[in-house]
Structures are given as C-alpha cells and as structure tokens.
Amino acid sequence: VQLVESGGGEVQAGGSLRLACTASGLTDDDYAMGWFRQAPNNERIGISCVRSTDGDTYYLDSVQGRFTISSDSATNTIYLQMDDLSPEDSGVYYCVTDSDVWIPRSLCTYYSGPYWHGLDNWGRGIQVTVSP
C-alpha cells in the first residue's frame, strides 16, 4: 500500500488549509484511513479518521468543529479540511491506513502516542505550519 499526501504549507492563525491523501494498492473496499500529527518533541497522535464504507468519522477533541474529514471511495482519497487554524495545529501530518482496522475511532485512538508503530501503512508526512 502506498499513501501519497498533498496540500499543507504555511498559513497565519485563523486561516485554512486542505490536505489530501490518495492510497494505492489497497486490497479491501472497507477500511479506515486518517491523519496523525507529530509536532517537534511530541508523540504522533491521531487527529481525524474516516471509514470508507459508511463515512463514520472520528475527531480529536481539540479539532472538533474546525476540521472536516471526507473520503472519496472511487479514488481511495481522503481529505482533511482545516479551518480556523492555530499555532498548536502545527506539525507534520501523516496519512495512515491499516487493513486490519476498520473503525475510525480505533485507528485514531488505539494507535495514538507511543503505539503508532502498530499501524502498517504510512505516508511520508507533510508539513503544516501556522504562524501567530
């Protein structure tokens, strides 16, 4: 499985950015896919995840109401629309999926922090910088 991320960049506080991630090599139509963030000297944490079949979603509390995740099953692409960004949202954003995890909350929470190594497929990461 290959995950290719796009979007990201630098924006001032209050601004918006949109991330995209396209997966190739998936062998199942039912999967969870999502975004993790890693800031300098911090753990890699689950931000938002989505299920391909029913659109079930999960959001970290701190991004609820500001971020929107969506998926396009026809292209195996997910999007993360990030609005009202703050400097605390800065970091490297990684796209992730795992063939054994279908539930978005599971993908984003069970493997958050020191457990992220348990997931199989990661993108290379994309930088998001929010200036004050």
Tens place of pLDDT per residue across the chain (132 aa): 999 999 999 999 999 999 999 999 988 888 899 999 999 999 999 999 999 888 899 999 999 999 999 999 889 999 999 999 999 999 999 999 998 899 999 999 999 999 999 998 999 999 999 999
Tokens 């991330």, residue located: 19
**Alpha-carbon gap, residue 84 to 68, rounded angstroms:** 12
pLDDT at 9: 96
**Alpha-carbon gap, residue 96 to 117, rounded angstroms:** 11
pLDDT at 27: 84
**Alpha-carbon gap, residue 39 to 41, rounded angstroms:** 6
